[in-house]
Amino acid sequence: MSWLTEPLAFGFFRHGLIVATLSGALCGLIGVYVTLRGMSYIGHGLSHAIFGGAAASALISLNFYIGAGVWGMASALAIGRVTRRRVIGSDAAIGVITTASFAFGIALLGLYGQVKRSIDAALFGSVLGVSVADVWVVAGVTVGTAAIVFFFYRKLLFTTFDPEVADVSGVNTARMDALLMLLLSASILATMKVLGVVLIAATLVIPATVARMLTNSFARMLWLSTSIGAVCGFVGMVVSYHLDISSGATIVLVGASLFAVVFALSGRKGLRRAAGLDTHDAPVVGPQPVASRGDRP
Amino acid sequence: MVESLVRLERVTCAYDGTPVLVNVDLEVGAGDFTGIVGPSGSGKTTLLRAVMGTVAPVAGTLRRRPGLRIGYVPQVETVNWSFPVTVSEAVLMSRTSGRRLPWPSVAERAEVADVLARLGIAGLGRRHIRELSGGQQQRVFLARALLRRPELLLLDEPTSGVDVRTRHDVLHLLADLNAEGLAVVLSTHDLNGMAAHLPYLVCLNTEVAGRGTPREVLTPEVLERTYGAPMEVLEHGGMPVVVDRYDEADNVLRFRRGTAS
């Protein structure tokens, strides 16, 4: 057990371990909605957009969460504004605005900051900068997100599965969409330090995809994805310490390894389930109707 | 006088400036059973969406009785069959008011079991929605709509992609529900299997081309206005039967082309 107890002697590692485990669970939980709603690219883009705000706030000594949070919000609003003009699609708008914000952050750090180390830490995650305050922030966002998912479970599920019918059934789908965006933004913001800008998207997608290969039930998928995310975060942190590589990269590699194992064991059935995460496949229907002479296409 | 649940007066709906419904009048009262027939792209789904309130008219007036509970069964083609949801989860989804806890109460479980049993799919609650036959899938979404205890049930092409037996079953099921007082409005392009058996039809091709009982609207004139193609109406067992009118020479020509290719 020394492989586990040895790093626990360091305060920074204890903080990092708690944050990584909670971050994994948080991303696993919110990742279920992200993948089923086809929002993976939004998650990827938002993390890149927030990087610009993180760089700017570091340079002017502004609190990371305030600076990066405001920047992320501004990016999301800009994406919405560009998309509403209908000249370009939302995916293109996300691509332009978030990568521009990311590039702006790189440029700022290049001009004024400690370029190599800061960029590496921000891109790929690091436990060295995790403070007690960061632990509380991640814990707060995780508990808050879990509470919201718990109490809005039915409405979030209905809105994710069938927004039009949910709307007719009295669910304020616009509010649920906004709530999910808020949760996603808060999750990215809270987990960015440990997971890193580039790798957050993977922690949103991998646990949910693995969980989808294991179950056909939404409720079970939520539990599984959260648990898988937490385990990947915990194991990834320990491996990161022993191999002396970035925490974000090891967490993602642990998740990817798990994906490979489950994929190999669940075979074609699991693959079919996972492949349907972002698609609206044609249904399996019974025999086709007998052609009626009066039927028209 | 029968209470009006929904009333549309000269309603026009458009997507990106292109009108898909023009000056449509429709009134649905308690206990009505109305079929909306028309070709693909004639505005059937948009009309249902306008009734539901998910598409706003650009002109005309639409009145819905305040507090009206609407159940909607979408086209099976629009459902995400890969979504991880069991039959029970899908049915229970519509129960969004009241209980906040994720898991169903004992009463809700019993209610779901009742509605599944009534629709002939008892015992399938734990199955994934993709693991069902076409008719069973249709019933799952009918069960979801019924769990809301609606006063008005809207169905978009409920017999699309199902076999003849299932079509009959769905039709009888809807007739039973209607007999209990539930107002039903459905869209269909199936003239003989579905529309001819309904008490009231609205023929739609962007505008209303005709309305009335099947005998009143399933006529060559109304059908040609609706479908833009000549059709004949025969009589069989006291029911109108619609058949395509083929030009014999044209038919032979098509056949020859078909065998030559």
List the single residue in A with minimal CA-CA distance to B146: A169
Alpha-carbon gap: A20 to the closest alpha carbon of chain B (Å): 27
- Assigned token pair, A74: 């501004």
- What pLDDT score does A27 carry? 94
Across the interface, whether the CB atoms of B54 and A169 are under 8 A apart is answered no
- What pLDDT score does A5 carry? 81
CA distance B238 to B240: 7
- What pLDDT score does B249 carry? 54
- What pLDDT score does A30 carry? 94
Interface test with B, best of A165, A217, A224, A278 (most B CBs within 10 A): A165
- What pLDDT score does B250 carry? 57
- Assigned token pair, B261: 């290719």
Across the interface, whether the CB atoms of B243 and A293 are under 8 A apart is answered yes
Alpha-carbon gap: B212 to the closest alpha carbon of chain A (Å): 19
- What pLDDT score does A54 carry? 81
Alpha-carbon gap: A278 to the closest alpha carbon of chain B (Å): 9
- What pLDDT score does B64 carry? 92
Alpha-carbon gap: B131 to the closest alpha carbon of chain A (Å): 8
* Residue pair A68/A57 in contact by the 8 Å Cβ criterion: yes
- Assigned token pair, B232: 């004949």
* Residue pair B242/B39 in contact by the 8 Å Cβ criterion: no
List the single residue in B with minimal CA-CA distance to A149: B102
- What pLDDT score does B257 carry? 47
Across the interface, whether the CB atoms of A284 and B130 are under 8 A apart is answered yes
State CA A232 to chain mean position distance.
14
Across the interface, whether the CB atoms of A294 and B244 are under 8 A apart is answered yes
pLDDT in tens, A86-100: 667 777 878 888 888
pLDDT in tens, chain B (261 residues): 557 899 999 999 998 888 999 999 999 999 899 999 998 888 999 999 999 988 999 999 999 999 899 999 998 888 888 899 999 999 998 888 777 788 888 988 898 998 899 888 888 888 999 888 888 888 899 999 999 889 999 999 888 777 788 888 888 888 999 999 899 999 988 887 777 788 899 999 999 988 998 888 888 888 888 888 777 777 777 777 777 776 655 555 454 444 433
- What pLDDT score does B259 carry? 43
Alpha-carbon gap: A168 to the closest alpha carbon of chain B (Å): 6
Compute mean pLDDT per 10 residues along chain A, 297 residues long, and list them: 80 88 94 88 83 81 82 78 68 83 83 63 73 90 96 92 88 88 87 81 92 92 96 92 86 93 78 53 36 33
Find chain B residues with C-beta within 8 A of A165's C-beta: 72, 74, 94, 144
Interface pTM (ipTM) of the complex?
A: 0.81
Q: Helix axis angle, A11-36 relative to A153-161, nearest 10°? A: 50
Find chain B residues with C-beta within 8 A of A288's C-beta: 161, 163
- What pLDDT score does B261 carry? 34
Across the interface, whether the CB atoms of A296 and B81 are under 8 A apart is answered no
CA distances from B248 to A227, B224, B254, B260 (A): 68, 19, 10, 18
- What pLDDT score does A277 carry? 52
pLDDT in tens, B54-75: 899 999 999 999 989 999 999 8
Find chain B residues with C-beta within 8 A of A158's C-beta: 93-94, 96
B146 CB contacts (<8 Å, ≥6 apart)?
Answer: B71, B115, B119, B153, B177
Question: H/E/C letters for each residue in chain A?
Answer: CHHHHHHHCCHHHHHHHHHHHHHHHHHHHHHHHHHHCCCHHHHHHHHHHHHHHHHHHHHCCCCHHHHHHHHHHHHHHHHHHHHHCCCCCHHHHHHHHHHHHHHHHHHHHHHHCCHHHHHHHHHHCCCCCCCHHHHHHHHHHHHHHHHHHHHCHHHHHHHHHCHHHHHHCCCCHHHHHHHHHHHHHHHHHHHHHHHCCCCHHHHHHHHHHHHHHHCCCHHHHHHHHHHHHHHHHHHHHHHHHHHCCCHHHHHHHHHHHHHHHHHHHHHHHHHHHHHCCCCCCCCCCCCCCCCCCCCCC
Interface test with B, best of A37, A151, A162, A271 (most B CBs within 10 A): A162
Find chain A residues with C-beta within 8 A of B35's C-beta: none
Alpha-carbon gap: A222 to the closest alpha carbon of chain B (Å): 10
Pick A165's closest partner by Cβ from B74, B163, B167: B74
Across the interface, whether the CB atoms of B76 and A283 are under 8 A apart is answered yes
Closest listed residue to residue A228, CA positions, set A242, A241, A214: A214
Pick A170's closest partner by Cβ from B76, B96, B191: B96
Find chain B residues with C-beta within 8 A of A272's C-beta: 82
DSSP characters over B118-134: HTT-TT-TTSBGGGS-H
